[in-house]
Amino acid sequence: MTQTDLLLKQDTLLSTNITASNKLQTIDIGENLSGALIVLSKKLDVPLETIYITVFQILLQRYAGQETILLEQAFLGEWTMVNIDNGVNLHNLSLGCIAQELNSKHLLPEAFQNLQQKLSDPGNFKNLYFEKLEDTLTTDQMKEVYFKIFFLTQRYQKKPVNQDLLNFEDIITQLSDLFSNYHFGLYFQEGQAETEVALFYNGNLFSEDFFARFAKHFIILLKEIIANPEKNIGAYNIVTDDEWDHLIRKFNDTSTPYPKALTLFHLFEKQAAESPDQVALIRGDKKMTYNELNKAANQLAYHLVSCGITAQDNVGLLVSRDFEMIIGMFAILKTGGAYVPIDPDYPVERQHYIFNQSGLKAIVADQNYPLKSLIGEDNYIRIDLVDLNGYKTENLDLNISSNQLAYTIYTSGSTGKPKGVMIEHHSAVNLVTWVNTTFGVGPKDRLLFITSMCFDLSVYDIFGMLAAGGTLVITQKQEIQDVKILQRMLVTYQITIWDSVPTTMDYLVRTLELDDPEYSYDGLKTILLSGDWIPVSLPDRAKKFFPEVTVVGLGGATEGTVWSNFFIIHQTSGDWNSIPYGKPIANNFFYILNEHLQPVPQGTIGELYIGGVGVARGYAHDDAKTSLSFVPDPFHQHAGGMMYRTGDLGRMMPNYHMEFIGRKDNQVKINGFRVELGEIESVLNNSSLILDAVVIAITDKEGNKRLVAYVVTPDTAFDREAITSFLSKQLPEYMIPAIWIGLEKLPLTSNGKIDRQTLPYPENFASPQKSIPGPAGQQLPQEILTDTEEKLRKIWKECLNLDQLHVDSNFFELGGHSLIAVQILSKFRKITGLNLQLAIFFKCPTIRTLARFADENMAEYHYQYLVPIKPEGTKNPLYIVHGDGLNVLNFSPLAACIDQEQPLFGLQAVGLDGKEQPLDNLQQIAACYLKEIVRHNPEGPYLLAGYSSGGYIAMEIQKQLHAVEKKVQMLIIFDADAEKTEYKDWYSLIPKKAQRHLPRFLQSIIADPISSLLKGKMPQKPYGEPSKTESKDFYRLIKKIKRRHITAFRNYQLESFDGRLFLYKASICVHYIDYGKFLGWEKYAKKGVELCEVPGDHFSMLLPPHVRDFATILQKNLDEHGNSAAKCS
């Protein structure tokens, strides 16, 4: 017996307490309906019980929100009922399990016949006595069922001894005890006059309202079937008249006047006439008034007309983020054409596709892009070069209808090819009118424009603000990518309206929480969030920094003209799993339907459909996709009314606000259960332990689906036990992710949405997309490679376990680390004889650059101790001495997070080239490194750091620099203790340690005696040693160097120095023995130790996600002490 596939929403349940608390809900079939069902039973030649079981299953299918449901039932056949001792005794029951598959596309008579065949099979049933029944129903096999559901039927075989005692409620009271292990079930008693039906359910799990609605829907469905028994299962309506009135009519009572005869540019021209000197646009120090913008747009429009642009022409807009973008948009619209935005940063292949698919008549651009060669010189209009002085500045007098196209925006398609969504003027006019009216947007408002013109949020940002007489502040790409700059711009430009995807606002708020928790700006009045999940905590967190703000969640689709629904978030609730989706905006409709376009009941999951004036015309030049996604609206039958099939799932809440559940294509099956990934993400994002989370399903090598959670954690390390405990209180076990991957931040698309396609795949799983694209994310054409490039690509593919690989892919971005680098260079050395060093990956991180270096420089290549990890920058360079790993590749994550003006150099061990003999004297090791440092930076000042054992070498370098009167600005130790415990006989330290830390030591001994005596448990290093034979020579070399270093460290005596030391101490200690607050360094730094505790352990502190915080703390110290006049020694 397999698990049931019935999955009701978790919050349908009152609790997860499965203790029996039996409740009963009778269903009043009535004599007339009962009689009609008997007639139908005879007409179709199926028993009455078959009809009731099927109806029960259909309702469960609808409530579960699934197209196909496999429902297992406990079925009890005919009983003999006799009177014993003035009571009712049930005797000689037949028990069986019926697995019945229902598909909503099947005809109802087929379902009746299929079920009847199974009910007629005696092999499905066996006779047993009442006293044995409970044991039978509670076997492990039955316990596997997530929702245990039964259907119980009774027919009289002989007349009872005492008719009065065979009371319906007496029988079901006894049955409720019998079936206490079930969650709910249906009892059916076929009498001689009429049929009696009741619902049993566990009152600890379900509310009375839930099954009261279920009973009403049961009756509705029976009546629908009697009226027409030949329909598809999914085509039957189950909602009551009252529900229909609320779900369809009242919920969508959104009729609101708006200037539907006007176009987007008419709204702007009206403002330009009323307030010509009002500032319309700002970028940096530049400003443009409404009058100047209107005149410039008019002149360009006249020029476009002279170039042959007429009404209904599609005109490409290929410009950077400046005034010309807005001028170009209005100019195109004023000709009667529709603008098609093309981002200059798009891959050439995508630009070509949009050009070819949209049928552009011309392109307005601000420089020469590759598309110029496709459209030709005459139709490529350089807005920055064309002389417009001879054209009129008055508004064009053309008859432009609001039913004409305003724009076509291309969005990602499921086939991988973008779809061009065509929006008419009146749809966009309705949108901007609703927003401006609802939120009181006017001339005093300023909006920070941070979205791409290719993202539909730009439609309101541009046309909404300029229709209201407000000011649009245009940001540059580099400004958008830095939330600290955006924070300053809010105040500098007195921004009142913010419009973005939630992730951008979340990053801004998170930055304020970390860097400026006292920040407050009361000028921001409205925050508009849409395009992705809104973290439940975000609105309240944002209000702490923007006390006067109103936060609004908006939803919809590009096909519904930006936004179709909204929810004003006054205050979030602790029991919310997600922000409510709200209600439709003016003149828009929302329906929650099944695949047969039937409304689903309140609380039941269905697909979201958008209707009303916001629905797009369709997809450009793609009738097939248009007919699939845009269908006639059967509920508001105005002329030509269509509705858009969003592919989103949602349900109606009791307060008649919608709840967004997730994407229809974001459903997966885990162990037979249907799982909404969005539901898991929503619960995760509602935890204080998680900042951001994404969940995907992958297939393991055995073909099983596994859930993978990608999480961004706060300052503290990810506590898997705590978060799984949190999830288990809200989700069933099969919805708990099996694999957890920590990220510094979630990858985003150019529009700021989470980019699931670029999430790193877990090790040991076959990635569905093993072909790794080039650095811009596009698949580039096949190239002719040099011999060295071909050799390296073959090696990289093998070591990185990739099927395809571009020669410009970055080694570190592909997940490369030091041990993979060892394998690559070892293989490369075997087939070429070239002896490259690990540090070369910093200088040459791609196949192309590495091959070029090998070809051109090997004759002159010499091993160097000093490695330029990140050589660029204007600040004083930081020199970091290697740790026990001897190389410096482990500092690459730090280099990626440090300030871009902060240079980083690493010092790798003497002898790693296999030619030079390793040293066993620490003073000599330091002298070698010092020589390289001074050659690179003769005058100083010097910023020195040492990781782990490298801290002792850094101390000695500092001493030698001081001896020659060189300035050491900072001395930094990355998580090392002054006892040099790595290089001493551990057992000889126990007496001294025990004497100093006896209480804690005793506690440690009691808790874990073996680990305490053997130095303590060390967390496993992130990478283990590879077993590849070609790497053995390298590891023999590593061991040789380490033996020499152990000798050097054991013989070295630390000496105090007249300066301050900065100690970066991992928050998770890798030893059981306590070394004290400052790890013993306070004895050696006469001016004190400045302690900086960083998240993670000795290894993970330099890896994502902790390295981001490490870099932030480090840079702050470097700026305050290393890049200033302050001296450390």
Supply the DSSP symbol for 598: P
Mean predicted confidence (pLDDT) in 748-767: 67
Whole-number Cα distances in Å, 89 to 82, 129, 237: 6, 11, 40
Q: Angle CA(148)–CA(151)–CA(157) in degrees, nearest 5?
A: 145
pLDDT at residue 779 in the model: 36
Please, which pLDDT band fits residue 787 given cuts at 50, 70 and 90?
A: confident
Q: Is the pLDDT of residue 1008 over 60?
A: no
E strand intervals along 400-467 = 405-411, 419-424, 446-449
Type of residue found at 635:
F
On whether the CB atoms of residues 533 and 578 are closer than 8 A, the answer is: yes
Q: How many Cα atoms occupy the beta-carbon half-sphere of 137 within 13 Å?
A: 27
Of the chain, the end-to-end C-alpha distance in Å amounts to 76
Q: Is the dihedral of CA 1023, 1099, 1106, 847 positive or negative?
A: negative
pLDDT (tens digit, 9 = 90+) per residue, 524-580?
Answer: 999 999 988 788 889 999 999 999 999 999 999 999 999 999 999 998 877 777 899
CA 792 vs. chain centroid, Å, equals 34
Type of residue found at 926:
A
On whether the CB atoms of residues 408 and 421 are closer than 8 A, the answer is: yes
The DSSP bridge pattern shows strands 588-593 and 606-612 to be: antiparallel
The torsion of the CA quartet 528, 532, 538, 539, rounded to 10 degrees, works out to: 30
Look up tokens 């476009």; give the residue: 304
Please, which pLDDT band fits residue 905 given cuts at 50, 70 and 90?
A: very high
Type of residue found at 257:
P
Higher pLDDT, 285 or 732: 285
pLDDT (tens digit, 9 = 90+) per residue, 941-983?
Answer: 899 999 988 999 999 999 999 888 888 999 999 988 887 554 4
Measure the CA–CA gap between 689 and 717, rounded to whole angstroms.
9
Burial class (CB in 10 A: 0-12, 13-18, 19+), 268: buried
Supply the DSSP symbol for 599: B
Mean pLDDT score across all residues of the chain: 79
Helix 502-515 with 538-545: angle, nearest 10 deg: 50
Three-state SS at 114: helix
pLDDT at residue 805 in the model: 74
pLDDT (tens digit, 9 = 90+) per residue, 845-862?
Answer: 888 888 888 877 655 555
Type of residue found at 750:
S
Please, which pLDDT band fits residue 297 given cuts at 50, 70 and 90?
A: very high
Mean predicted confidence (pLDDT) in 259-274: 98
Q: Is the pLDDT of residue 137 over 50?
A: no
Three-state SS at 769: coil
Whole-number Cα distances in Å, 110 to 5, 99, 232: 21, 15, 10
pLDDT at residue 1 in the model: 23
Mean predicted confidence (pLDDT) in 801-806: 72
Please, which pLDDT band fits residue 252 given cuts at 50, 70 and 90?
A: very high
On whether the CB atoms of residues 282 and 473 are closer than 8 A, the answer is: yes
Look up tokens 């609380």; give the residue: 603
Q: Is the pLDDT of residue 990 over 50?
A: no
Measure the CA–CA gap between 170 and 150, rounded to whole angstroms.
19
Residue 531: name the closest of 758, 755, 751, 679 by CA.
751
Share of the chain above pLDDT 70, in %: 75
Burial class (CB in 10 A: 0-12, 13-18, 19+), 373: exposed
Q: Angle CA(163)–CA(164)–CA(165) in degrees, nearest 5?
A: 95
On whether the CB atoms of residues 729 and 716 are closer than 8 A, the answer is: no
On whether the CB atoms of residues 756 and 768 are closer than 8 A, the answer is: no
What would the two tokens of residue 56 be? 């029960």
Mean predicted confidence (pLDDT) in 1115-1129: 70
Q: Is the pLDDT of residue 789 over 90?
A: no
CA 670 vs. chain centroid, Å, equals 19
Measure the CA–CA gap between 710 and 17, rounded to whole angstroms.
30
Of the listed ranges 600-614, 1034-1048, 1053-1067, the one predicted with least confidence: 1034-1048
Mean predicted confidence (pLDDT) in 721-733: 73
User: Which of the listed ranges 424-428, 455-459, 499-503, 749-753 does the model predict with the highest average pLDDT?
Assistant: 424-428
Higher pLDDT, 96 or 684: 684
Mean predicted confidence (pLDDT) in 10-17: 42
Q: How many Cα atoms occupy the beta-carbon half-sphere of 815 within 13 Å?
A: 16
Mean predicted confidence (pLDDT) in 618-647: 90
- Tell me how many helices (H) and strands (E) the chain has: 35, 44
CATH class of 22-81+89-238: alpha beta
Q: How many Cα atoms occupy the beta-carbon half-sphere of 209 within 13 Å?
A: 7
pLDDT at residue 716 in the model: 59
Measure the CA–CA gap between 116 and 121, rounded to whole angstroms.
9
Mean predicted confidence (pLDDT) in 917-931: 90
Higher pLDDT, 1060 or 813: 1060
Q: Give residue limits of the domains in the chain.
A: 22-81+89-238, 587-663, 667-742, 787-860, 866-1122
pLDDT at residue 412 in the model: 66
Measure the CA–CA gap between 496 and 566, rounded to whole angstroms.
19
Q: What is the CATH number of domain 787-860?
A: 1.10.1200.10
Measure the CA–CA gap between 1096 and 181, rounded to whole angstroms.
46
Q: Which fold has domain 587-663?
A: Luciferase; domain 3 (2.30.38)
pLDDT at residue 996 in the model: 45
Q: Is the dihedral of CA 224, 247, 638, 633 positive or negative?
A: negative
pLDDT at residue 18 in the model: 46
What would the two tokens of residue 32 be? 């007339």
Mean predicted confidence (pLDDT) in 487-514: 92
pLDDT at residue 320 in the model: 93
Of the listed ranges 149-163, 437-451, 910-924, 940-954, the one predicted with least confidence: 149-163
pLDDT at residue 477 in the model: 84
What would the two tokens of residue 1042 be? 């380490």
On whether the CB atoms of residues 918 and 886 are closer than 8 A, the answer is: no
Beta bridge partners of 91: 80
Measure the CA–CA gap between 404 and 756, rounded to whole angstroms.
36
Three-state SS at 122: helix
Mean predicted confidence (pLDDT) in 977-991: 53
Q: Is the pLDDT of residue 937 over 80?
A: yes
Model pTM score: 0.60
On whether the CB atoms of residues 526 and 569 are closer than 8 A, the answer is: no
On whether the CB atoms of residues 183 and 23 are closer than 8 A, the answer is: no
Q: What is the CATH number of domain 667-742?
A: 3.30.300.30
pLDDT at residue 75 in the model: 47
pLDDT at residue 291 in the model: 98
Look up tokens 């966009």; give the residue: 428
pLDDT (tens digit, 9 = 90+) per residue, 117-136?
Answer: 877 765 555 444 333 434 44
E strand intervals along 134-253 = 149-155, 184-190, 195-202
DSSP per position, 788-839: HHHHHHHHHHHHHT-SEE-TT--TTTTT--HHHHHHHHHHHHHHH-----TT
Helix 130-137 with 168-178: angle, nearest 10 deg: 50
Q: Is the pLDDT of residue 523 over 80?
A: yes
Residue 293: name the closest of 320, 319, 275, 305 by CA.
275
Q: What are phi and psi of 469, to 5 degrees?
A: 85, 10
Residue 319: name the closest of 407, 386, 382 by CA.
382
Q: Is the dihedral of CA 466, 471, 476, 480 positive or negative?
A: negative
Mean predicted confidence (pLDDT) in 357-383: 92
Q: Angle CA(498)–CA(503)–CA(504) in degrees, nearest 5?
A: 45
Measure the CA–CA gap between 367 and 383, rounded to whole angstroms.
8
pLDDT (tens digit, 9 = 90+) per residue, 178-198?
Answer: 555 556 677 777 765 567 788
On whether the CB atoms of residues 588 and 405 are closer than 8 A, the answer is: no
What would the two tokens of residue 297 be? 């747009």
Q: Is the pLDDT of residue 401 over 90?
A: yes
Q: What are phi and psi of 73, to 5 degrees?
A: -130, 145
Establish whether the linkage from the previous residue to 747 is cis, with ω within 30° of 0: no
Measure the CA–CA gap between 945 and 956, rounded to whole angstroms.
11
Higher pLDDT, 1070 or 633: 633
Measure the CA–CA gap between 316 and 329, rounded to whole angstroms.
10
pLDDT at residue 490 in the model: 97
pLDDT (tens digit, 9 = 90+) per residue, 1091-1110?
Answer: 999 988 888 888 877 888 89
Measure the CA–CA gap between 782 and 587, rounded to whole angstroms.
51
Tell the CATH superfamily of the 866-1122 domain: Alpha/Beta hydrolase fold, catalytic domain (3.40.50.1820)
pLDDT at residue 138 in the model: 39
Residue 182: name the closest of 200, 168, 162, 204 by CA.
200
Higher pLDDT, 667 or 748: 748
On whether the CB atoms of residues 1095 and 717 are closer than 8 A, the answer is: yes
Three-state SS at 469: coil
CB atoms within 10 A of CB 575: 9
pLDDT at residue 293 in the model: 98
